Amino acid sequence: MTLVRYSYPRTTRLVPVFGRSPWNGLETEIDRLFANALGDFTATAAARFPVDLYEDKDNAYVRAELPGLAREDINLELADGSLSITGTRKVTGDDGKVTESVALSRSLAVPETVASDKVSATLENGVLTVTLPKREETKPRKVTINVS
């Protein structure tokens, strides 16, 4: 028995020979959703990086994974209620010369409860952790109940 493989040209759209596809609107929406979910991997979308946000009773934290970036390549700025993290990743070729440079950027809104003069950041094993301490007056405190 001989197996015959038929090769059909692959297309990304399901468009019939005559007229428009009834699925055309759905295909467009699915393409848009995947482009947004996967970041579309264009220069601007790839330049955004994910961050983790969490807090405890004393501090709020921002954690960003920035592997391959040195401390000198990262710029952290807190101004007008916004925390901006920018960095530049340099790609070197086989000869050791910088062939490409990718700018990474992320901005986050910072609540007014943060004491901006006490913000600190650490970079350890490619993970940037920004500590945003809460102001004393905004921290929860226990209220005693007097018995009369």
Structure tokens at 125: 């094993």
**Torsional sign, CA 55, 124, 110, 107:** negative
- Whether residue 58 is predicted with pLDDT greater than 50 in this model: the reply is yes
Q: Does the global pTM surpass 0.85? A: no
pLDDT by residue (tens digit) across 103-117?
888 888 888 888 888
Rounded to whole angstroms, the Cα distance separating 85 from 69 reads 12
What pLDDT does residue 110 have? 87
Q: Name the architecture of domain 50-138.
A: Sandwich (2.60)
Domains of the chain, by residue range, sit at 20-46, 50-138
User: Using CB atoms within 10 A of its CB, is residue 93 exposed (0-12), middle (13-18) or buried (19+)?
Assistant: exposed
What pLDDT does residue 116 have? 85
Lowest mean pLDDT among 20-29, 56-65, 81-90: 20-29
Lowest mean pLDDT among 23-27, 50-54, 80-84: 23-27
- Whether residue 66 is predicted with pLDDT greater than 60 in this model: the reply is yes
Percent of the chain with pLDDT over 90: 15
- Whether residue 130 is predicted with pLDDT greater than 70 in this model: the reply is yes
Rounded to whole angstroms, the Cα distance separating 102 from 98 reads 11
